Amino acid sequence: MTFSRDDMIERHLDQQLQGEEQARFQQMIQDDEQLGAQLALQKRIDSAVQQMFEPGEAEARVLGRMKASILEASAERTEPATARRSAVRRPLRSRLAIAAVLALGAVGVWSIYHQVRDMLPTRPRDPYAPQPWRSLETVYRDTVKAGFEPDWVCRTDEVFAETLQARFGQPLLLAQSTPDVAAMGWSYCNNISPKTIYLLARVRGEPVIVLIDRADQDKGQEPPRRKGLYIFRRQIGQLVLYELTPLSSPGLLDSFYIPAFEPSAG
């Protein structure tokens, strides 16, 4: 009988693999890094479930009755016993976990959700995907809340200038940072236009963003509602820049300039 990868993992965790099957599974783990990671993840999930759901006497009786009902229903199947165990192992594991959740109540649900959620791989956000419009203050708040990490980083002045040239038809550069200023990288948003980009930086340790777009797209910005945030504007050639900062004076706007060199085409 041929088992899927998931079945093999379940049977391994339930100690149903013996002899050649167990040896073959161990070899599969060594040859397939993804399978090994999947097994490790399942072990962590099972461990979290086991740690979270250690029922008392009353809850144990509820789980016992639920387990008995599940096993009784599965016994009514007509397929051979070996195939039947393989077919019901994963649903049984899931159903017993759900039963434990129901028995222990909403607090247990919330706790296990966060434990398991933190183990699962997250799908990276596509920075190029179309975004809904957000105010400048919302962009700042969302970026800080997400850890103040840029979507990408320009490693050289040439790439920095070429990025703006390609996106807006005009290059810009940022003067060399002082010890008080640390430029971190770029992210995208829909604000001045759907093509707006913004620079993330720390000025005297404070998170600061500078939005850049074409000046002919600029319709102005509302003053920040949050106390302790300040907005500053500057136009350089055909580009407009807005700096949002918790500092009372701009720390980056005066450092932007149009470079003398011509960015390379393509």
Q: pLDDT 10s per residue in the chain (266 long)?
A: 556 777 778 888 888 888 888 888 888 877 777 777 777 777 777 666 555 555 555 555 555 655 555 555 545 544 444 443 443 444 445 545 554 545 455 445 445 444 544 444 444 556 667 889 999 999 999 999 999 999 998 888 888 898 899 999 999 999 977 889 999 999 999 999 999 999 999 999 999 999 999 999 999 999 999 899 999 999 999 999 999 999 999 999 999 999 986 666 55
pLDDT for the residue 24: 84
pLDDT for the residue 9: 82
pLDDT for the residue 86: 40
pLDDT for the residue 206: 96
Distance CA 42, CA 116 (A): 10
pLDDT for the residue 127: 60
Contact status, residue 242 vs residue 208, Cβ threshold 8 Å? no
Q: Can you name the residues that pair with 181 across neighbouring β-strands?
A: 203
pLDDT for the residue 122: 45
Instruction: At 241, give phi and psi (nearest 5°).
Output: -125, 135
Q: Can you name the residues that pair with 203 across neighbouring β-strands?
A: 181, 206
Over the chain, what HEC string results?
CCCCHHHHHHHHHCCCCCHHHHHHHHHHHHHCHHHHHHHHHHHHHHHHHHHHCCCCHHHHHHHHHHHHHHHHHHHCCCCCHHHHHHHHHHHHHHHHHHHHHHHHCHHHHHHHHHHHHHHCCCCCCCCCCCCCCCCHHHHHHHHHHCCCCCCECCCCHHHHHHHHHHHHCCCCEECCCCCCEEEEEEEECCCCCCCCEEEEEEECCEEEEEEEEEHHHCCCCCCCCCCCCEEEEEEECCEEEEEEECCCCCCCHHHEECCCCCCCCC
pLDDT for the residue 8: 79
Contact status, residue 203 vs residue 252, Cβ threshold 8 Å? yes
Specify the CATH number for 136-257; select among 3.90.105, 3.30.200, 1.10.3470, 1.10.3210. 3.30.200
pLDDT for the residue 67: 53
pLDDT for the residue 125: 59
Domain boundaries, the chain: 5-119, 136-257
pLDDT for the residue 42: 77
CA 53 to chain centre: 27
pLDDT for the residue 84: 39
pLDDT for the residue 93: 52
